[in-house]
Structure 1
Amino acid sequence: MSLREEWTVFRLAVQFLTRLPVGEPAWSAERMALTPRWYPGVGILVGLISGAAFWAGAPVSPLFAGVAAVAAGVLATGAFHEDGFADMCDGLGGGATRERALEIMRDSRLGTYGVLGIGLLLAGKVAALAVMGPWTAAAALVAAHAGGRLSAVLVMATAPYVRDHGTAKPVERGAPGWGLGASVAAAALVPAALLVPWGAAAALALLALSHRLVRRRFERRLGGYTGDCLGAVEQAGELAVLAGIAACL
């Protein structure tokens, strides 16, 4: 594939996962099917934005900086992944059957499980960031956003999509070239590894654990994944990486 074509695929990935302005990249089903390999790259971009917000908020207090970083990530993505996490909490928490769980997850209204889940998730991210200095936080945010998206890509590469239509339908044909995404995510971890070596190791371990636990939960209940499940495993991955680095400071 030419560099120009790859650039178009990357821009489509940015357009799909964020609200960042990328112009109007030429859309096609074939190009969209290739976008998952660039999801960790999009994560690096969002992580840099969040890291800049942390630096901007650091003079106020570490806690304020953590809130600013998380808010910047939410604004950059339009809460795309957070919405999926909340919907999966509602669906798996309130649905007694597979069919009912899928019905609840499609409902745009937010329930008790979703509110509690997203509240605890965001609090966990802010708490982890609040113990970091600006350089460490910036490196951790880049690693977290890339690692979380790699976790979602691995689900796409190894599990079936269970809906006939939905947000993730355009990219439900696996994740061709996912090795590129893994390489990008590995590169995103390098700055954190240089600053906090044991933290990077702990982040990888917790990322793998979160991936296993979250996907085990939704695959047992649904027999595969939905777009909401991808958002959930991505958000769990972000928190896992931040927690791993924070724990080793």
Structure 2
Amino acid sequence: MLSRVTYQIELFLLSLSFFTRIPVPASVPYSTERMNQSGRYFSLVGLLLGLICYGVYSLCALVLPEHLSILLMMVCSLLLTGAFHEDGLTDMADGIGGGMTTERRLAIMKDSRIGTYGASALMMALLVKYSVLSSLAMQTSMLQLLLIGYGLSRAVAASLIYDMPYVSDAQTSKSKPLASRQTTRELGVLLFFGIIPCIGLDLSTLLMIGCVCCLLRFALKRWLLRRIGGFTGDCLGGVQQIIELTIYLILAATMIPQITYL
């Protein structure tokens, strides 16, 4: 029993080391199989990041205005992940927006340079995130907001591995260790940790988030299949960013007071 728990902890630490810049013990065993299995804890890593970002926000809010606290929290988030997912969004936008063929789109995604599509997508994503979080900060629990956004978005994005083919070059892609398909059990663990922070939301908001995330996942899956025939590591990062922003927008929409017409 203890060995099983230890094994799961090691998988979580591998996931943490892959998706963030947070240091883990050098003694954690590594193998391609272990790295692939560690994807089940992607959403749990998101919850940890949400907790850390909330801590930064809370400390900053003690001495700084709300908008500056949120800005510094976002900077911390980028530092914690090395802008891993934002880079994926940028590359996905450049590749799919600028390429005319599947081969060309995949080639552009591997290019380290940022094009117009990528720069526009990155700037708008950061601007929307800052604006929505600033709007929601005074209306709801920032802790639950971040846990839902960070955890659920990663669960939805990583779930694409379960039922989509991997199309990039495994020797150069950032998602090489996660390219194998997930088992049903791994998908269950991933979704479990992604859904946990949603507990406590009112039923209508919960249903709206669930339905929109499912529909958006379906739409993005079909779109990626048509455009490149599957997913790449950049696509997973791009989907995570899109889902996270969508969650914040839904929460903002459900908290707008109803308008009374005279």
- Classify the TM-score, shorter chain: over 0.9
Larger Rg: 2
**5+ long unaligned stretches in structure 1:** none
Letter in 2 for 1:74: L
Question: Partner of 2:52 in structure 1?
Answer: 49
Aligned to 2:182: 175
Overall identity of the aligned pairs, in %: 32
Q: Aligned-pair distance for 1:61?
A: 3.0
- 1:148-194 deviations in Å (ceiling 9; x for gaps): 11112210001000023111111111123110111111112225x1x
What letter is aligned with 2:11? V
Can you list the C-alpha shifts for 1:7-34, whole angstroms capped at 9, x where unaligned?
0000000000000111121101111111
Q: Which position in structure 1 is the counterpart of 2:84?
A: 80
CA distance in 1, matches of 2:130, 2:65: 12
1:147-186 equivalent positions in 2, closer than 5 A: 147-165=152-170, 166-176=173-183, 177-186=186-195
Deviation at residue 132 of structure 1 after TM alignment: 2.0
Residue matched to 1:118: 122
Gaps of 5+ in 2: 256-262
User: Aligned residue for 2:259?
Assistant: none
Q: Which amino acid aligns with 2:57?
A: F
Per the TM alignment, residue 93 of structure 1 is displaced from its structure 2 partner at its CA by 0.8
Query: Is the partner of 2:174 in helix, strand or coil?
Result: coil
| 2:43–2:193 Cα contact (<8 Å) kept | yes
User: How high is the TM-score relative to the length of structure 1?
Assistant: 0.92
Q: Is the 8 A contact 2:156 2:191 kept in 1?
A: no
Alpha-carbon offset, residue 197 of structure 1: 5.3
Give the distance between the partners of 2:134 and 2:118, measured in 1 at CA: 24
TM-score normalised to structure 2 length: 0.88
Look up the match of 1:145: 150
- Match of residue 12 from structure 1: 14
> Deviation digits for residues 66-100 of structure 1, max 9, x if unmatched?
32232221111110111000000000111011111
Paired with 1:216 and 1:51, the residues of 2 have a C-alpha distance of 34
Aligned to 2:211: 205
Q: Please give the secondary structure, in 2, of the residue aligned with 1:130.
A: helix
- 2:30 is aligned to 27
- Deviation of 1:139 after TM superposition, in Å, equals 0.7
Post-superposition, which runs of at least 4 consecutive aligned residues in structure 1 deviate over 6 A?
Answer: none
Helix, strand or coil for the counterpart of 1:185?
Answer: helix
Q: Compute the displacement of 1:211 (Å).
A: 2.1
Letter of the aligned partner of 2:111 in structure 1? D
Structure 2 match to 1:241? 247
The one-letter code sitting in structure 1 at the alignment partner of 2:169 is D
Q: Does 1:65 align with 2:69?
A: yes
Conservation of the 8 A alpha-carbon contact between 2:49 and 2:150: yes
Q: Secondary structure at the match of 1:27?
A: coil
Given residue 159 of structure 1, which amino acid in structure 2 is its aligned partner?
M
Q: 1:206 to 1:55 in 2, by over 3 A?
A: farther
Residues 214-233 of structure 1, C-alpha deviations (whole Å, 9 max, x = no match): 33322211000000000011
